Structures are given as structure tokens and as C-alpha cells.
Chain A
């Protein structure tokens, strides 16, 4: 028979959930150890999203909210990359949803109390499904950094929030992409909740000048890796044992 299991998550390469430098975590991060158990259909299977949900402009944040074809303020960027699993297999049909601040560092959200202006031509949300090679691409505006209350007022480095669904509920990922060279990266408590330097660096989109020079916009490359699923065959095992 054929037993499938998700590769165990390596928590050394993940952020600490209980990380008081990020003040909001103090009363929200659970204190007890998580329970590990063997994967079942509940974790290995997952929702798959159909192409029909994706509109033509869903991955173009420079146009999907623009009024009378007015461009949002700020400089245009392309954010692109691949979604693969830990075995380097590309994942086709992965759903990526992104959200971000506008070029002034303001979110189109009632709870954003930052005094920066909203941009009437920019909502800051986009989504797409990866192609057969796991490829995705968004056309958007460089998000601004923004202040927020933490240990006093601190500034978030420029970032784009990513939500990703692969093929299984256990592959579900929510993360943020940062930008190469941002001086605010080194003091950000959310970034620093990841102790492992290589893991931290994997969240930084790399400036791709080859592409930037040919398309009059800056391009950043951000590859995403979701958990792998192991498949093991037990020849002499009877079902139910």
C-alpha cells in the first residue's frame, strides 16, 4: 500500500511565534508545544482553485482599481517567480493572493491609522494561479515603508504580503516578500523572528536588472517553496494495519 506524508516542518527555519520584540505576539502567541501526528487526508489533500475565478486584471495591480485608466502613483515593478515543493517539483495551479501598501505606505483599510494618503487608483490586492511550470507574475507599484506602533513607533521595511495554496492544506503558507537593499530590514522584529540567516534571506526579492532594463520597470524575483509530500510503499502491509 501507499502511505503519503508531509515532510516534517523544520521549525529552526521558521519564525518564532512567541517573540516579544513583536509586541502583538505577546498576548496572541500560544505557549504550549504543538502536537505532532502523522498526516492524514485532512492535511495531504486540499482545496484546488479553478481558473474561472481569476479575472484578466487580477494580477495587474496597476490597472485593477484604476479610474479612467489613471495610473497609481509610484514606480512600477514586476514581482515574479516560481512555486515549487521541497523536491523542486513545480506546483501548477497554486493560488497566490497578495496585498500591499501603496507607494506612500498606506493600506486601503479602515484600520490603517497611518496619516499617509490613500491612492484612489490603487487597492493593493491581486491574485493569480501558477502556470504548468509553477510560474507567477504580478505587475504592481513599489510599496512604501510605513510606521506602526510596536516598541514605540517603528517602521516596516517595504514588503508585499503573500498567501499561497498549493495542493494540500498542510502546504498552506502566509508570508511576506521584502526588497533587496532595504535599510529597514535589519531592525524589523518580524523579519528577525526568523533566526536562521539563510531562511531570512529567502524572503528578500532579488533585483533582476536584466528584466528591469528591457521593460522600463524594476523586476524582483521571489521563489516560493511549499512543503514536500513523501510517498512510501509498503509491499507487505495489509490495509488497515
Chain B
């Protein structure tokens, strides 16, 4: 952290390619035993199943095909709105048969940011895959929460703003589909 002038350029991104599992989730493919666990298997290790919500969805390309070679990563605060360095991170891929991803996590709380603004409950999400020269970023908000004063949602003047809001299916269960292209293209963020 610094207030002086920046003098280096950020290293450019390149696509993660189709084989990112080797480096990021070796246990999810056939490379077992090298690492004890894949990182981000559970975002909150000490929580019981009944304290968790479920967010399900698929990532669709411009042809409407649900992809299974994408990697998703999420980062969030806990139910009290507190960010903890050692929890709140998850990494997952869609199931290769159903093409659906499932994230089980705690429902994040609201928090007040460095600038004093109150943020509605949300999860930060990044998507990396073959065909994406840069990782994409977006946020997952929740249907049923107070959303109209959120500092991000309130500046988006676009009917696709709903793409950032997970639909409530039943208590504790949400649907969040991601559309990479098309009329209903998900809103992506320059974070």
C-alpha cells in the first residue's frame, strides 16, 4: 500500500486455457495426492450444512451452450458482514454431466465499505476459461434483499441489472445463471 506514483504496469492477462484444472484443481481431475485438497473446496470450514445456502447455475456461451470447462472463484464476507483472510474463498467448476455448478456457502451480510457506504449482501465472482483472454468479474446479489441503495446496483442504468441478482427458488436456495453473450448478457465489472 502506498500513496506515491505507480511506476510499473500490471502484468497482462492471458487465457487460462482448457487445462486450468491441472494447476488449480488437480484433485478434481486425475491428478490425486499431489496436493492434499483442492483450494476453496469449502469457503467456511467450520459451518454446519444447515447454516449454508445453495447457489446453483450454469455458464452459457453465445450459442446458449452450458459450459463445463470454466472455473469459478468466489470471495465474500461472513453472515455478519466481516471479511476474514482465511475464509470466504471458494473455487469450483460445473459438473461435466449436468453442466451445473453448486456453491454452498453462508449468506453474506451487509457491510460498510472504506468509504462509509453500505453494501447489500453480495458475493464477488470471477470466471476464467478457454476463450477468455481475461478473467471476468461480476457479483451475486440475492432476490428478496434490500437492494435499491446498494452503491453498485444504484449506478447501473441497464435492464440487465437483474443478471446480478440470484433468483430465490426456495428458502436457502438460489439460481444464478451467467450468460457470456446475447441480449441478456450478464453485467461484468471493471473491478
Contact = CB atoms under 8 A, between A and B. Distances in A.
B72 to A, nearest CB: 12
A37 B151 contact: yes
A122 B137 CA distance: 33
A205 B64 CA distance: 38
A219 B7 CA distance: 26
A28 B14 contact: no
Interface in B114-137: 114-117, 119, 122, 124, 126, 128-136
- Interface of A, secondary structure class, is loop
B151 A14 contact: no
Given A40-B119, A42-B122, A108-B22, A29 B12 contact: no
A29 B8 contact: no
- Interface of B, secondary structure class, is loop
A227 B4 CA distance: 14
Contact of B181 (A31, A88, A110): A31
Given A28-B62, A194-B12, A109 B21 contact: yes
B133 A27 contact: no
B151 A231 contact: no
B30 A14 contact: no
Contacts of A241: 116
Interface stretch (A44-52, A68-76, A206-214): A44-52
Interface stretch (B45-53, B83-91, B98-106, B166-174): B83-91
Given A27-B62, A99-B23, A161-B23, A13 B6 contact: no
Nearest to B160: A32
Q: Which interface class (under 10, 10 to 19, 20 to 34, 35 or more) fits A? A: 35 or more
Contacts of A116: none
Interface of A: 1-4, 6-10, 13-17, 19, 22, 24-32, 34-50, 53, 55, 58, 64-65, 84-89, 97-99, 107-112, 123-127, 161, 163, 169-170, 172-176, 190-191, 193-194, 198-200, 202-203, 224-232, 239-241
Interface of B: 1-24, 26, 29-31, 34-37, 39-40, 61-63, 65, 67, 69, 73, 75-77, 83, 85-86, 88-89, 111-117, 119, 122, 124, 126, 128-136, 139, 151-152, 155-156, 160, 180-181, 185-191
Given A49-B39, A175-B14, A202-B11, 7 more contacts: A24-B131, A29-B180, A35-B187, A39-B191, A42-B139, A203-B14, A232-B3
